[in-house]
Structure 1
C-alpha cells in the first residue's frame, strides 16, 4: 500500500531516526512485538477476545519508520507470522498516528475516516480489530508507559512542525 500522505497535519518520524529502524528485518519486529502483546493482552487472550485472528495474518506497516510486522493467533497466543505468508489484513500509518491511537488522543474512527490510518484486505477482520482496540482499557496496566508515549507523540508533532532546513547556498552547483 504505502500511500499514506505525510503532511504538516500528519507528522512523521524524521528520516534520520527512521533509518536505523529500517535496517532491522521485519521478522525481528514481529517476534518482539508478539512477546509484548501477549503480556499486554493476557486477560483478553485468556478470554478468547482475540480469537478472530486465529489462522489470520495481520500486517502492520509504520510507513515513516520504514518498519512492518506480521502477527497471527496460534494456540491462543499471538505469534509472528511467516514472512512469505500472505496477509489477510493490513493496517498502515505513521508512527505519530499509531501513537495517537495508542494514547487515546485520537479515536480509531477519526484516524480511519481521515485516511491517516489505512486498512486493506478483509474489512470484517479490520472491523473486529478496530472494535477490539476501541473497547480495550489499558490505562491501569501501562499507566506510566502512556505518559512516555504521550511525550513521544508530542515530540514528533513538534519536530514535524519545525521549518525544513534549506541549503546554505541554493545556487551552488548551478551553471548560468
Structure 2
C-alpha cells in the first residue's frame, strides 16, 4: 500500500516565453513593482497597514518566469531594494501559483501547505504579509486587470507540463 500523496501538476511558463522576461534585470522589476504597488496599496500605505515592512527587504522569485524583485518600505513608501542585498523574507513560486493567489482562486494557506509557494527567512514577517493580502479587497480597484489576470491564469493552467521522453541511445561498440 502506498501512502504518498500526489499533488496536482503545477503548470509553468514554458521556457521560450520566460526567456524575454529573464533578460530584464531584477533592479528594473523591483522599480516597476514598487511603483505599481504604491499605486495599488495607496490607501493601505496611508493608513500604515504596511508599516511592518519598514526597513525590511522582501524578495519575490517567480521561478518559471526567471524573474525576481525586492521591495522595502521606507518612510511610508514602497521602494525598490537591491536584489543583491540580503533579504528578510523571500517568497518563491511559479507564475501560475502567484496568479492563483492574486485572483483568489486559491488561498495562501493552501499554496504554502502544498509547497507550491515557498517562504524563507523571517516567518513572522511572512505571516504579516499573508494576513495583509488575505484582508485586502481589490476587486473594485482593479476590476478589468483582475479579469485579465483570470484569463492568464486559465491560459497557463491549460499548458500541459511536457515530459521529455527518454530516447534510447545506441550502444557504442566496435564494429566488426
TM over 0.5: yes
Aligned residues: 166
Query: 2:135 matched to 1:135?
Result: yes
Q: 1:85-143 deviations in whole A, cap 9, x for unaligned? A: 21000000000000000000000000011110000000000000000000000000001
Q: 1:58: which partner in 2?
A: 58
> Take 1:15 and 1:85, find their aligned partners in 2: how far apart are those partners?
27
2:59–2:83 Cα contact (<8 Å) kept: no
3-state DSSP class of the match of 1:72?
strand
Consecutive unaligned residues of structure 1, counting only runs of 5 or more, are 1-6
3-state DSSP class of the match of 1:73?
strand
Report which of the two structures shows the higher radius of gyration computed on alpha carbons: 2
The offset of 1:174, in angstroms, is: 4.2
Q: 1:4: which partner in 2?
A: none
Q: 1:160: which partner in 2?
A: 160
3-state DSSP class of the match of 2:120?
strand
1:56–1:73 Cα contact (<8 Å) kept: yes
3-state DSSP class of the match of 2:106?
coil
More helix by share: 1
> Take 1:156 and 1:94, find their aligned partners in 2: how far apart are those partners?
11
> Take 1:67 and 1:136, find their aligned partners in 2: how far apart are those partners?
24
Consecutive unaligned residues of structure 2, counting only runs of 5 or more, are 1-6
The offset of 1:166, in angstroms, is: 6.2
Q: 1:89: which partner in 2?
A: 89
The normalised TM-score by structure 1 is: 0.88
Q: 1:106: which partner in 2?
A: 106
The offset of 1:82, in angstroms, is: 1.9
Map 1:18-97 to 2 at 5 A.
Answer: 18-97=18-97
> Take 2:45 and 2:35, find their aligned partners in 1: how far apart are those partners?
13
Runs of 4+ in structure 1 off by over 2 angstroms are 163-167, 173-176
2:100–2:153 Cα contact (<8 Å) kept: yes
2:62–2:68 Cα contact (<8 Å) kept: yes
1:14–1:160 Cα contact (<8 Å) kept: no
Distance 1:45 1:114, change over 3 A: same
Query: 2:116 matched to 1:116?
Result: yes
> Take 1:160 and 1:123, find their aligned partners in 2: how far apart are those partners?
33
> Take 1:80 and 1:117, find their aligned partners in 2: how far apart are those partners?
22
